[in-house]
């Protein structure tokens, strides 16, 4: 499956390989023990292991991780090369990328992590780990369109975030992935997904487009046949596409509203976010201008700072404000229903 930026992805692979080649060529003995340990440790499918085998394998994985860490920068360089060149083991592609991200966030390593994620075997993963690592890349400015597309078309992507007792279904995971993208990139990728052969991918794409709320997403949905989508998706599209008169009053100034929006996601004891703050919500809808929408959209992307219900709540609260401002100003009226 080609990503929205297939050529860029190919170029990234080439550049990362070029960056790693000097070590691999001249210092190959320094990586030989890690290569051997990788071959001994990986090459398995978690779903095919018994409970006892999983426990034993977990210990082996810990030992491999420690071995890489012990080697310091050499371990990082060797691991990066192994992640980039891995073609067959989808579990190592993810696990190695996760380890690499924990050790090094240089640009070349971030590109390698992105490559590893694009080759991950989602059938053998808790999808929450894939989403968490993809989101971390996205928040660092890495294009995750190929990872998002991989996720949205996969047959099974349910996951669970133990720290938040949070279940992840396909739509929820997609909000984190596509919601963290710049709107123009999200629109392009989601438009492609409307032509997917998988009905669940098409409906998820339409749902996400209804939340993107850009001129392109409104135009696309206006021209789309939504009758075949699940009721939840049809209702979301209808809610977004239909103009609704807004009557709100401001109790907070325009400057104060923008100051809070720009603080996201720098939460502390003096700022817990805007989710649940009805006064802020109504004031923001009442005073924000069309020129402020870029700032509002940027804050919404940044609010997805973690895979958690709190982050998702902040994203939805900002989405509600975005729609409220669009309705108040009657923006994109050529593509919306009146």
Can you say whether residue 43 is alpha, beta or left, with left for phi > 0 and alpha for psi between -120 and 50 degrees? left
Q: Enumerate residues 6+ apart whose C-beta is below 8 A from 127.
A: 151, 157, 158, 159, 168, 173
Round to whole Å and give the CA distance between 117 and 135.
Answer: 11
pTM (two decimals): 0.89
Digit-coded pLDDT (tens) for 277-307: 999 999 999 999 999 999 999 999 999 999 9
Give pLDDT tens digits for 311-331.
999 999 999 999 999 999 999
Distance separating alpha carbons of residues 169 and 158, to the nearest angstrom = 5
**Positions of the chain with pLDDT lower than 70, given as ranges:** 1-28
Could you report the per-residue pLDDT of 37-85, keeping only the tens digit for each?
A: 999 999 999 999 999 999 999 999 999 999 999 999 999 999 999 999 9
Q: Give the whole-angstrom CA distance, residue 139 versus residue 304.
A: 8
By the 8 A CB rule, do 143 and 135 touch? no
- Beta-strand runs (E) in the chain: 159-161, 166-168
How confident is the model at residue 15, as a pLDDT? 46
CA–CA separation, 144 vs 305, rounded Å?
Answer: 15
Whole-angstrom distance, CA of residue 138 vs CA of residue 305:
10
Nearest alpha carbon to residue 121 among 151, 79, 84, 85: 151
Cis, bond preceding 265 (omega within 30 deg of 0): yes
DSSP type of residue 122: G
Q: From CA 154, how far away is CA 309, in angstroms rounded?
A: 23
pLDDT of residue 165: 86
- Calculate helix-pair angle for 6-26, 73-85, nearest 10 degrees: 130
Would you state the pLDDT for residue 4? 62
Closest residue by Cα to residue 318 from 293, 336, 335, 338: 293
């Amino acid at each position: 499956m080609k990503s929205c930026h297939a050529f860029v992805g190919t170029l990234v692979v080439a550049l990362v390989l070029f960056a790693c080649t000097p070590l691999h060529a001249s210092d190959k003995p320094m990586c030989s023990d890690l290569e051997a340990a990788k071959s001994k440790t990986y090459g398995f499918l978690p779903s095919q292991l018994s409970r006892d085998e999983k426990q034993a394998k977990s210990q082996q994985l810990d030992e491999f991780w420690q071995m890489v860490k012990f080697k310091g920068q050499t371990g990082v360089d060797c691991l990066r090369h192994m992640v980039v060149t891995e073609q067959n083991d989808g579990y190592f592609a993810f696990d190695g990328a996760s380890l690499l991200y924990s050790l090094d966030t240089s640009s070349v390593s971030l590109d390698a992590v992105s490559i590893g994620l694009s080759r991950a075997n989602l059938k053998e993963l808790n999808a929450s780990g894939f989403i968490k690592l993809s989101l971390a890349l996205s928040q660092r400015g890495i294009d995750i369109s190929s990872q998002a597309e991989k996720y949205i078309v996969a047959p099974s992507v349910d996951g669970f975030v133990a720290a938040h007792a949070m279940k992840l279904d396909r739509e929820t995971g997609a909000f984190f992935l596509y919601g963290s993208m710049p709107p123009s990139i999200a629109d392009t990728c989601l438009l492609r997904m409307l032509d997917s052969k998988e009905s669940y991918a098409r409906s998820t794409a339409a749902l996400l487009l209804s939340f993107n709320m850009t001129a392109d997403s409104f135009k696309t949905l206006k021209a789309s046949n939504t009758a075949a989508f699940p009721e939840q998706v049809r209702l979301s599209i209808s809610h977004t596409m239909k103009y609704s008169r807004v009557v709100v009053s401001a109790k907070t100034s325009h400057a104060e509203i923008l100051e809070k929006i720009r603080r996201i996601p720098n939460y502390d004891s003096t700022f817990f976010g805007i989710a649940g703050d009805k006064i802020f919500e109504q004031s923001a809808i009442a005073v924000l201008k069309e020129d402020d929408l870029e700032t509002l959209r940027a804050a919404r992307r940044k609010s997805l700072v973690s895979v958690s219900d709190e982050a998702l709540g902040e994203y939805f609260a900002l989405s509600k404000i975005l729609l409220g401002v669009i309705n108040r100003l009657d923006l994109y009226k050529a593509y919306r229903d009146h």
